[in-house]
Structure 1
Amino acid sequence: MRNHIVVIATILLNYVVVNKMNTIEPDENSHTKEMYHNEFIGKFISFLYRYEQIFIGKKIEPYGIGSGQFPFLMRLYLEDGINQESLSSHQKIDKGTTTRAIQKLVDEGYVFRQRDKKDRRSYRIFLTEKGKKLEPEMKKIASEWEEILFSSFDDNQRREIKNALGIMFETISQRM
Structure 2
Amino acid sequence: MDNYKCENIAKYVSEIQRKGNIFFLKELSHLGLGYGQFNFLMELYRQDGVRQEDLTLKLNIDKGTTARAIKKLEAEGFIIKKEDKDDKRAYRIFITDKGIHHRDAIYKVAKEWENNLTKNLTKEEKETMISLLKKCI
TM-score (norm 2): 0.92
* Residue of structure 1 in register with 2:21 after alignment: 53
Distance in 1 separating the partners of 2:104 and 2:81: 22
CA distance in 2, matches of 1:95, 1:146: 27
Gaps of 5+ in 1: 1-36, 170-176
1:10-69 CA-to-partner distances (Å, cap 9, x unmatched) read: xxxxxxxxxxxxxxxxxxxxxxxxxxx754111110111111011011100000122211
Q: Distance in 1 between matches of 2:61 and 2:132?
A: 23
Residues paired across the two proteins, number: 133
| Structure 2 counterpart of 1:73, one-letter code | L
Q: Find out whether 1:78 has 2:37 as its counterpart.
A: no
Structure 2: gaps (5+ residues):
none
Taking the aligned partners of 1:65 and 1:160, their CA distance within structure 2 comes to 31
* Equivalent residue, structure 1, for 2:110: 142
Greater length-normalized contact order (CA 8 Å, ≥ 6 residues apart): 1
Relative to the length of structure 1, the TM-score reads 0.72
| Structure of higher CA gyration radius | 1
Matches within 5 A, 1:28-47: 39-47=7-15
- Classify 1:66/1:44 alpha carbon distance in 2 versus 1 (closer, same or farther; 3 Å): same
- What's the counterpart of residue 84 of structure 2? 116
For 1:97-145, what per-residue CA distance to the aligned partner results, in whole angstroms no more than 9, with x for missing partners? Answer: 1111111111111100000111110100000000011111111111000
